Amino acid sequence: MGLKKKSKVTTEFSSASMTDMIFLLLIFFMLTSGLVAPNSLNLKLPGSTQSKVQIDSKADDIGITKSGNFYLNGKRITQSDLESALERKANAAKDKLDITISPETGTAVKHVAFVMDIAMRLQMNAILTSEQK
């Protein structure tokens, strides 16, 4: 007795709707990526020139050691005192305050980022200097 199934299962897959979805997602991400403004710092990064760069004497220098000690114009200062001192200077200045950040070679990035964050919040011009040996 021969019993046969009347319906066969096919293994075909139509990818037309999948292509439409990918195209719509691509358009969506292209449109929304233009709306996102990056939160960036106003930094002037040092170049690789061999000549000495003259820095304005009005600019305050913030030195950072490998061990995480902060120095404002050569005088040792704590993190909280550094923030309040820079805030006082920024409030007293009529223009944007200029600062230079001078970390020692091998200083942890978190210490440099701490000073850069202060500069961004207080809308200062920050120049990151580097030691060359």
Q: What is the CATH number of the domain that holds 86?
A: 3.30.420.270
Cα 12 off chain centre by: 49
Amino acid 79: pLDDT: 86
Amino acid 22: pLDDT: 92
112 in a domain, yes or no? yes
8 in a domain, yes or no? no
Amino acid 30: pLDDT: 85
91 in a domain, yes or no? yes
Q: How many domains does the chain have?
A: 1
For the stretch 2-15, pLDDT in tens is: 666 677 777 777 77
Residues of the chain with pLDDT below 70 are 1-5, 34-57, 131-133
118 in a domain, yes or no? yes
Amino acid 133: pLDDT: 46
Range of the domain at 65: 43-47+56-128
The helix, strand and coil proportions of the chain, stated in percent and rounded to the nearest 5, come to: 35, 15, 50
Amino acid 25: pLDDT: 93
Amino acid 37: pLDDT: 60
- Which helix (H) or strand (E) segment is 125 a member of? strand 125-128
2 in a domain, yes or no? no
